[in-house]
């Protein structure tokens, strides 16, 4: 039962992060999204994945690696969108 709770929680977390990343990609805009959101997610996911590996928790190893990868995609999309946005003088 505890693994089911972990997998469901991991799925919900990935779903929420993925929704944000998808919205940025689909709209081609990232207004109001801080780069620190993704930097923080990357750092936390890397730390949690390492910790999970050290204690041998497969649920959280997988969840945090997927969170890390999703955050990389989100960060790349954020940077792409910011390069595409016109500056105030355009």
The C-alpha R_g of the chain, in whole angstroms, comes to 15
| Domain spans in the chain, listed from the N-terminal domain onward | 33-84
Q: Residue 77: its pLDDT value, please?
A: 92
pLDDT, tens digit (0-9, with 9 covering 90-100), for 2-58: 788 888 988 898 898 888 888 888 888 888 888 898 898 899 999 989 999 999 989
Burial class (CB in 10 A: 0-12, 13-18, 19+), 56: exposed
pTM confidence score:
0.78
Q: How far apart are CA 43 and CA 78, in angstroms?
A: 17
């Amino acid at each position: 039962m505890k693994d089911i709770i972990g997998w469901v929680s991991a799925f919900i977390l990935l779903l929420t992060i993925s929704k944000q990343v998808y919205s940025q990609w689909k709209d081609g805009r990232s207004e109001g999204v801080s780069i620190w959101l993704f930097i923080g997610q990357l750092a936390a996911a890397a730390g949690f994945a390492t910790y999970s590996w050290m204690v041998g928790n497969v649920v959280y190893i997988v969840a945090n690696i997927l969170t890390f990868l999703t955050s990389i995609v989100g960060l790349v999309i954020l940077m792409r969108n910011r390069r595409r946005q016109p500056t105030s003088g355009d």
